[in-house]
Structure 1
Amino acid sequence: MPPQVVDLLRSLDAPPRLAAHLRAVHDVAVQLVEWLERRCPELAVNREAVLFGAATHDIGKAVHLDELSGPGSAHEEAGRELLSAHGFGPDLARFAGTHASWTASDATLEDLLVSTADKVWKNKRVAALEDLLVVRLTRATGRQTWEEFLALDDLLGRMGDGAEHRLAYQGTFPVHAQRGGVRGPGAP
């Protein structure tokens, strides 16, 4: 995890389950970006932004704890505001909101990658999201759509295979912060 994210989680006394989730999504994003850099070196992707976005996309759940174990979207705007209040610019704070709004016409490649990592970490496949990535890959490489679809499908299938372990790992951490701050993944 990016060091500034670890520091932020500590300063927020973030729940260990949130840290575990952010770590899992970050780790999947690392694999996704590395694959993309190998497959499409001509495609400009802001690696640091994707990894930061994956590591902070749900940071607003530090404020809306009920959304750690249930549905809700209040954490999205809260996360954007929280990141802004801690000095992160709009170019990075945006991921707290865009991870759930990847269908927006102004969604960037980085937004799509963070959203994909947030789905695939638990082996959830979203065809419409993946189709948007395939379009970007096809444009960048000039390869056939079916080639890019098969390559992405293969990668996401392999990444999804480890979901049960990631879910079990996340589930071992409490939803509420323990006294003394984060002691979960990404924190010493």
Structure 2
Amino acid sequence: MTSIRSDVLSRALDAPAEPSLRPLPPVVAELLRSLAAPPRLAAHLRAVHDVAVELADWVTDRYPDLAVDRDAVLIGAATHDVGKTLHPEELAGPGSAHEAAGRDLLLEHGFAPHLARFAATHASWDGPEVTIEDLLVSTADKVWKDKRVPDLEDRLVQALAASTGREPWEEYLALEDLLTRLGADAAHRLTFQAAFPVGR
């Protein structure tokens, strides 16, 4: 039974998808295997991480003078829901217990605090301490399934406009184009995630 479970988890981490999904960072895949994470969680993290790569690369290309910790964004997206290994009921239903639990779990497994924080902050983007990295992880966690959150997107637009001196409407239009393109593949990502069981 254990080998069957680990085979399903391996497929969630490594199986080809349409459109193709990038693999998770090796340190994250290794952590999920060590935790015997639910396969659906692994598939979800992979989908959100893939969108985060697109967002981070777009920001790097369009805003070369904006200091963005790309690695933090990608690790943050790849681990944001890891606390659901401890709260699997939140894989299929609402709940926020996984947030602090995920941060603590990552810290216990040697992740630096600036990387572990995304597990606790990905559902909140209105505080004064929110960074561009937080906004990108939160955006990836929404747009992977084509969910649009105006308050979050407005906050990201303001951060981008402040970094360039361009008008917010210019940054809004550019971001809108990107998020519309990313959202177009949401059905494929949702189908990929749904192919894996919630339970271990």
Same fold (TM over 0.5): yes
Report whether the alignment pairs 1:129 with 2:129. Answer: no
Report whether the alignment pairs 1:60 with 2:86. Answer: no
Partner of 1:145: 168
Whichever residue aligns with residue 113 of structure 1, its letter is: L
**Normalising to structure 2: TM-score of the pair?**
0.87
CA positional deviation for 1:40: 0.5
Whichever residue aligns with residue 122 of structure 2, its letter is: H
Report whether the alignment pairs 1:74 with 2:83. Answer: no
The alignment-based identity, stated in percent, is 67
Mapped partners of 1:105, 1:21: distance in 2:
28
Give the SS at the match of 1:41: coil
| CA RMSD after TM alignment | 0.6
Whichever residue aligns with residue 64 of structure 1, its letter is: H
Larger RCO (CA under 8 A, 6+ residues apart): 1
Partner of 2:142: 119
Whichever residue aligns with residue 184 of structure 2, its letter is: D
Unaligned runs of 5+ in 1: 178-188
CA positional deviation for 1:25: 0.2
Whichever residue aligns with residue 43 of structure 1, its letter is: L
Unaligned runs of 5+ in 2: 1-23
CA positional deviation for 1:104: 1.4
Mapped partners of 2:109, 2:143: distance in 1:
28
Mapped partners of 1:20, 1:60: distance in 2:
15
Mapped partners of 1:111, 1:142: distance in 2:
21
Whichever residue aligns with residue 85 of structure 2, its letter is: A
How do 1:36-185 residues align onto structure 2 when only pairs under 5 Å count?
A: 36-177=59-200
Q: Deviations over 1:120-151 (max 9, x none)?
A: 00000001100111111111111111100000
Runs of 4+ in 1 over 4 A off after TM superposition: none
**Normalising to structure 1: TM-score of the pair?**
0.93
